[in-house]
Amino acid sequence: MELRQYARILVRRLPIIMLLAAFGAGSAYAFAAGSPRLYRATAHLSVTPSTIDFFTGEAVQRLMNNYALRLRSNAFAAEFAPRVSLAARGDDVNGKVRAVAAPQEYRISVEVDDPDPARAQQIANAAAYGFVEKIRSESKSRSNQEKQDIYLEVFEPAGVPGAPFSPRPRRDALGGALIGAIIAGALVLLLEALDDTVKSAAEAQGLLGLQLLGSIPNSKRTGVLNGVIRRSTGPRYPL
């Protein structure tokens, strides 16, 4: 079957596709509207080496990935939890901190999602500043001097998010409509492939491989065969 034939099938079944797309959009919008809102606060850390060359840059990139893992750990959550005024235990902040390393920019983003925007900001800043102090303390204890090979600082604290990060009903409705349309299109094409009836005189001529002499028009659609011809059964005689 050619591409234009698939397009004709989809156009012919467009009402079904639009119906399922509308159903998907409505379902996604209703689900998103009923979900709790989450606000995302983000603080940015800068990881800068004292000297930049190829080997130092490679080492810093690996170190940043290690920092990101430590930021997400439950052990570190228990350490910075007392800094958060609304949470006194590590269990309250476990799993809330996400760290995304961007080695090309020497930057680590500390992200926190929470239903309370002020709490999200407090946790993100507590994690960022707490981690900087922890790394500086470890560096001093190892070298017993102020000089550091890697300089870590908070160059952009988290602010209070003004709009929820999730859910977004309009975006989710658009995604639901797209998914519904794709499923409907696939279902229409599958049903068309399983249907073995001949729907036109031209299709009968192509299947039989014989010249078409005439056809009996249907009372509703001119040019459509009144009888039903199966592709896999029946004698192959011209009409």
Mean pLDDT of 160-170: 84
Query: Domain-by-domain residue ranges, the chain?
Result: 3-30+173-195, 39-156, 196-239
Bridge partners (DSSP) of residue 102 are 107
The superfamily (CATH) of domain 39-156 is: EIF_2_alpha (3.30.70.1130)
Output the pTM of the full model: 0.60
Whole-angstrom Cα Rg for the chain: 32
Tokens in use for 73? 């750990």
Distance in angstroms (rounded) separating the CA atoms of residues 127 and 82? 11
Confidence check: pLDDT of 46 > 50 = yes
CA angle (66 as vertex; 60, 67 as ends), nearest 5: 85
Angle ∠(170,39,22) on CA atoms, nearest 5: 15
pLDDT of residue 169: 81
In 69-121, at which residue ranges do the beta strands (DSSP E only) sit? 97-102, 107-114
| Type of residue at 68 | A
Q: How many CB atoms lie within 10 A of CB 91?
A: 12
- Write the pLDDT tens digit of every residue in 111-140: 999 888 988 898 899 899 989 888 888 777
Q: Are 56 and 106 in contact (CB under 8 A)?
A: no
